[in-house]
Amino acid sequence: MSETSGSGLGIADLSVHYGDRPAVSAVSLEVAPGEVLALAGPNGSGKSTLIRAVATDLEGTVGEVLAAGRSLGGLRPPERARLVAWMPQEEPPGDNVPLADYVDYGRYAHLARWSASSAEDRAAVATALEEVDLTALAQRGIHELSGGERQRARLARALAQDAPVLLLDEPTAHLDVGHQLDVLERVRAHARAHRRAVLIALHDLNLAARFTDRVAVLAHGRLRAVGPPSEVLSSELLAEIWGVVAEMRRDPRSGLPYLIPQLPIRPSEPARPHRGFRVHVVGGGGSGAALVRAAIERGWDVSAGVLPLFDTDSELVREFGVPAAFELPFAPIGPDALRRLDALLGTADAIVIAPFPVGPTNLANLEHLVAWTRRRPILLVDHPTGERWDYAAGRAEAVRAELLAAGALSVPDLAAALAWLSARSGRPAAAPATAVE
Amino acid sequence: MGAVAVRPVRGGETPTSASPWRFGAVALALLAGLVVLLGLSALVGPHWLPPLAVFAILLHEGSGGLLGSACGGLAPNPATCSIWTEVVWDARVPTLLVALFCGAALALSGGTLQGTFRNPLCDPFLLGLSSGAAMGASVLFTFQLALAEQATLLPVFAFVGALVPGMVVYAAARRFAANPEALVLTGVALSALFSALLATFLFLNPSGGLQVSFWLLGNLQDQTWTRAGLLAATVLIGGSLIVLYGRELNVLQLGPEVAESVGVEARRTTRRLILLSTVVTAVAVAFTGVIGFVGLVSPHVVRLLVGPDYRRVLPLAALFGAVFLLGASDLAQVILPQIFLPVGIPTSFAGVPFFLYLLYRPGSRAR
């Protein structure tokens, strides 16, 4: 019953205007039969509009859309419906009809005019219900379904339409995590088995990475990147498109990328070139908190890291909206965090190493800075005498000596560090008395 | 309002669907009710005739003189028999046929409008279609009375009159898609406007003042076979076309965009259905005046019985509308036999509480 096609979905130079406002600008995309392509992008980036423009005869659309080799331009709804099936993000509740009748609406375009459903239609409805695991509820009224069941019912309606191109707009919205995985797995299996070209708008980039063959990123209606998730998804892309600081890691089993979003980038901070004096604080465990606070009170820009997530310093840094590199708690500092650290150090005027306890997991914080001694002034704040701080079997002491040898300056305490920084910043220190305890 | 906070317009308490036997049972019950009411309607009237004589006349005339004898031998003399025959066959029968098809027309129109506008508060009366049609007919009635006697021209003028509110309401439905009350308020305003125009035209006619109440509140009296035939043909043809769009109406409940995406010619279908509703309403109103609430109540009652599937709702609503209007008409004549109580009065007494129920029931948007 599957209508296989050789050519899937082709979108060429598609633009959509709502009145004067461009919602989608010159987007070109191909989705091959059997391929699942995720459409990602922030809210308002034009994902739903792009999908609508393919699914319906949307006003203000210019460009060419091909489905299974046929141009959709000028097609009447029944012909279009046989080529493209659409699961919209939301729809009116409609009448409380039995689920099976509701799914049968997807068969409309396959019916001869004013004829009853055929055996083929009934089989398609049964298959679609089976594919979303709702066979048992076939006679239940759709208003009596749970949110997740309703969502799967709408997917079933689109599947029953039996079109070579399948458009799904946020199919996992309102689903719990189990059903999110389940639905996307079913969609992917359906695409493979029936050679459907599937375009899915997805907010969750980790799901996109896990279940789709390629990701297309939209921002302000323009296509910004297309490719396999491992090539397209990156911390830089998230910062640029979504304005979010995120760590990108790789699933050790699948090798697929996954992102750990951390901080929204506030307008007052990093992405733009900073104007003032910028201090980078390397700390952890609360050692850097006083310095961060004092620097902010002096009107300096501050960055921090690498900090373990959820520790005292990282919580403070989040509270102040200070850009920082993070690592998971108790995990060794990884390459992504170090890349982020390098980006921050590259725009800092001075680096201060707070007296933080060093163990095997955060030793990289010190080691990594050796290379930076030639590029930025580095201050090493001494540990209080007698306090144990090297939990890395002497390696921390060794790296510290290496830093000093390479040109880092040792200062006895926080006050001395602040005095040095004030002189360096070119601004007289007019710090309130409470700034340094 | 959240992403899918689209509230159900129709109440959630209606049954989802009924098994075929339930559809059959309701259809049989309504047909039986219709037969009983048709018999009753032939008996009631300002002149009392012996029931057996009435049925004998129906049998004799209905069979073209083949069955039974004139008046069943119950008339005291041939002159009386011929008067009886005239009363039953040329006055009561066309009247009850007009009532039957008028009820069916209004119910079909109401169900169709509720479906196309996805709005449970729709009916030809509340949306101003009936007043527009009556206004159109009254133009002919006022200025060309001689022509108005011809059954064929009245519906044409009524249709032209009903087109105006029909188009305004169509435009309003597109404009206020998210706001069902706005559509109904537009209809109420149109209804008031056309009622005022209708009254003005009727008062312009020196002898027309008395007609006002009949046109505004409905009048099933003084029907002819021509009118009955014309109305029956319109309702049977128009109604069949409407019922054939039942599947499209079902899908349209998901909104025009989704409906088009599964292949329904949403805009074209909507326009055709509104046009068909306007036609059947116009022809009914042209002969009976404005009868309110039949179109509102009938589809809802049927929905409560057999669920929301328009393929079932529409034909059963037509049956129910016929039963409702015949019943209301008989009731008016039985309770107040001396007065020609306009039939719109009893239908309003039944319909207004129902309208308020739809407005205030739990889950309704209009609160």
ipTM, two decimals: 0.85
The mean pLDDT value for B65-80 works out to 83
Contacts of A44 (CB under 8 A, 6+ apart): none
pLDDT tens sequence across B247-299: 999 999 999 999 999 999 999 999 999 999 999 999 999 999 999 999 999 99
Among B366, B316, B281, B294, residue whose Cα is nearest residue B10: B366
- Of residues A97, A101, A109, nearest to B262 (C-beta): A109
pLDDT at residue B7 above 60? Answer: no
Quote the pLDDT of residue B18. 56
* Residue B145 banded pLDDT, cuts 50, 70, 90: low
8 Å CB contact of B17 and A98:
yes
Q: What is residue A235's predicted lDDT score, i.e. its pLDDT?
A: 76
Find residue A214's DSSP bridge partners. Answer: A37
Which residues does chain A have with pLDDT short of 70? 1-6, 113-115, 263-275, 426-437
Q: Please count the residue pairs, one from chain A and one from chain B, whose beta carbons lie less than 8 angstroms apart.
A: 110
Report the pLDDT value the prediction gives residue A272, as an integer from 0 to 100: 39
pLDDT band at B210; cut points 50, 70, 90: low
pTM: 0.74
Predicted confidence (pLDDT) at residue B21 exceeds the cutoff of 80: yes
State the nearest Cα–Cα gap between A317 and chain B, in angstroms.
33
CA distances from A298 to A41, A278, A295, A378, A424 (A): 38, 11, 5, 19, 13
Q: Which residues 106-125 in chain A show a CB within 8 A of chain B?
A: 106, 108-109, 111, 114
- In this complex, the residue of A88, A114, A141 whose CB is nearest that of residue B258 is A88
Where, residue-wise, is CATH 3.40.50.720 in chain A?
273-435
Q: Does A272 touch chain B (CB under 8 A)?
A: no
The token duo for B132 is 């527009």
Confidence (pLDDT) at A84: 96
- Provide the pLDDT for residue B31: 97
Report pLDDT for B362.
Answer: 66
Residues 33-92 (B) with a CB less than 8 A from some CB of A: none
Q: Which positions ≥6 away from B120 have C-beta within 8 Å?
A: B9, B10, B11, B114, B180, B300, B358
Instruction: Report CB contact under 8 Å: A108, B255.
Output: no
Q: Give the model's pLDDT for residue A407.
A: 87
Burial class (CB in 10 A: 0-12, 13-18, 19+), A250: middle
Residues B112, B314: contact at Cβ < 8 Å? yes
Cα B196 to its chain centre, rounded Å, is 22
| Banded model confidence at residue B332, pLDDT cuts 50, 70, 90 | confident
Find the length of chain B.
367
Regarding the domain with residue range A273-435, which homologous superfamily does it belong to in the CATH classification? NAD(P)-binding Rossmann-like Domain (3.40.50.720)
Q: Can you give the pLDDT at residue A40?
A: 93
Least Cα separation, residue A250 to chain B (angstroms):
32
The reported pLDDT for the residue numbered B322 is: 97
Fold category of B94-360 in CATH? ABC transporter involved in vitamin B12 uptake, BtuC (1.10.3470)
Lowest mean pLDDT among A347-356, A359-368, B21-30, B354-363: B354-363
Question: What pLDDT was estimated at residue A269?
Answer: 44
CATH 3.40.50.300, chain A: domain bounds: 9-233
Contact A216, A29 (CB under 8 A): yes
Domain chopping of chain B, boundaries:
94-360
User: What is the reported pLDDT for B367?
Assistant: 34
With cut-offs at 50, 70 and 90, classify the pLDDT of residue B147.
Answer: low
Contacts of A91 in chain B (CB under 8 A): 6, 254-255, 257-258
Identify any residues that bridge with A351 across adjacent strands, giving them in sequence order. Answer: A280, A378
- Model confidence at B4, in pLDDT bands (50, 70, 90)? very low
Query: How far off is chain A from B104, nearest CA to CA, in Å?
Result: 22
Residue B2 has pLDDT above 80, yes or no: no
Mutate to test the interface with A, among B13, B16, B240, B309 (most CBs of A within 10 A): B16
Put simply, the answer to whether A161 touches B118 (Cβ < 8 Å) is no
pLDDT the model gives residue B148: 60
Q: What is the dihedral of CA B166, B170, B173, B176, to 10 degrees?
A: -100
* Of A13-17, A239-243, B89-93, B318-322, highest mean pLDDT: B318-322
Point out the residue among A77, A82, A91 whose CB comes nearest to the CB of B260. A77
Whether residue B118 and residue A108 make contact (CB cut-off 8 A), yes or no, is no
The answer to whether the Cβ–Cβ distance between A90 and B3 falls below 8 Å is yes
**Residue B315: is its pLDDT beyond 90?**
yes
The reported pLDDT for the residue numbered B162 is 94
More confident residue, B96 or A272: B96
- Judged by CB atoms closer than 8 Å, whether chains meet at A96 and B10 is answered as yes
B309: chain A residues, CB-CB within 8 Å: 95, 97, 101
- CATH code of the domain made up of A9-233: 3.40.50.300
